[in-house]
Amino acid sequence: MPDRSNANPKSAALARFRRSHEFWLLAVIGVLVSALSLATDSFLTLQNLFDLLTSNAFTGILASGLLVVLIAGHIDISFTATASVAQYLALTVGIRYGLGWVALFAIAGAIGVLCGLINAVFVTKLRISSIIVSIATLNIFYGLLIFTTGGNYITSLPKFFRDGILWFEHEDASGVPYGLNLQILLLIGSFAVAWLLLNRTNIGRQIYALGGNKDAAQRLGFHVFRINVLVYGYLGFVAGVASIVQAQLAQSVTPTVLVGKELDVLAAVVLGGASLNGGVGTVFGAILGVALLAILQNGLVLVGVSSYWNQWFVGLTILVAVSTTAWSERRRRARGSP
């Protein structure tokens, strides 16, 4: 087995970054941004960037949660169903009892955690593969939601909710207000919390360890069930939060509109370098992955490509990205041994 460790720590760290996934993503994004700012005037404007952040907040917040699950070595695609359930219940209850921001987020988060718990139990205690569990729970949560609610919309949302929040408000030349709205605040917040969890807490490092070598983790006395509960619960909570954010942006609750977006989130996180095998992935990478897909889709629209082609471009990007990652991984391994 070739020994790739380096005696000099600083140059080793730099070399590691240059070889890393994040570096290449940054490069591609750089190229994309440059190309777009040359191709069109409307890309690099405050308006556009503000809209970009706001409209991708939902995906971004979810990505910060899914990242944690992937690092632990599992996969989950039921979180959009969880979000739908959380959104509907939280706002129904919230409107009925006249609740405020905190209560709304608390209820949505709690429902999300509950759904996540269900996933964790099936994956750990029943030992079913996580992709099958999540395909099943997606349908269970979503099916039951639409069955019991009849797919009704909620359009009469309270005024405070529709107004949202805007911090550090400022107006540009034409009097259009900008600032940190609910979406951007929670987008930044969720990535920050994910980073703190993964890099500054013991349990976060345990998540990496579990994803890296499950057997060793068990032998060393890690509480695997507790970690799984935390991980799925966290994604569930994040899904609940994201669902409120999305309802505020859309100014309505449509139970049928969120399911179907889970693959976009998965694509973004995988693009960002998280591996389906677990143990690999960073918050920075996930941010870049979300950014890449967001800029790509935004760019297509600005350049004049019909939005009907959007999905094809996303699919192509995913395919190219996972292919190059896998191929370079193969080459790296082949260089060492037969």
Asked if residue 330 binds other proteins (CB under 8 A), the reply is: yes
Rg of the chain's alpha carbons, rounded to an integer? 21
DSSP-assigned states of every residue in 213-226: -HHHHHHTT--HHH
Residues within window 14-33 making contact with other proteins, judged by CB under 8 A: 16
Buried b (16+ CB within 10 A) or exposed e, 116-133: bebbbebbbeeeeebeeb
Candidate list 18, 98, 156, 202; residue touching other proteins; CB under 8 A: 202
Determine how many CB atoms are found less than 10 A away from the CB of residue 150.
7
Buried b (16+ CB within 10 A) or exposed e, 76-93: bbbbbbbbbbbbbbbbee
Task: List the structure tokens of 12.
Answer: 């080793």
Asked if residue 213 binds other proteins (CB under 8 A), the reply is: yes
Q: Which residues is 177 bridged to in the sheet?
A: 171
Amino acid identity of residue 292, one-letter, is L
Asked if residue 3 binds other proteins (CB under 8 A), the reply is: yes
Candidate list 131, 192, 301, 303; residue touching other proteins; CB under 8 A: 131
Candidate list 146, 154, 249, 257; residue touching other proteins; CB under 8 A: 146
Residues within window 109-128 making contact with other proteins, judged by CB under 8 A: 122, 126-128
Q: What does the per-residue mask of binding to other proteins show for 278-317, with x meaning CB under 8 A?
A: -xx-------------------------x-xxxxxxxxx-
Candidate segments 38-46, 90-98, 172-180, 277-285, binder of other proteins by CB under 8 A:
277-285
Residues within window 70-89 making contact with other proteins, judged by CB under 8 A: 75
Choice between 158 and 212, CB closer to other proteins: 212
**How far is residue 326's CA from residue 333's CA, in Å, rounded to a whole number?**
11
Candidate list 7, 18, 97, 170; residue touching other proteins; CB under 8 A: 7
Asked if residue 199 binds other proteins (CB under 8 A), the reply is: yes
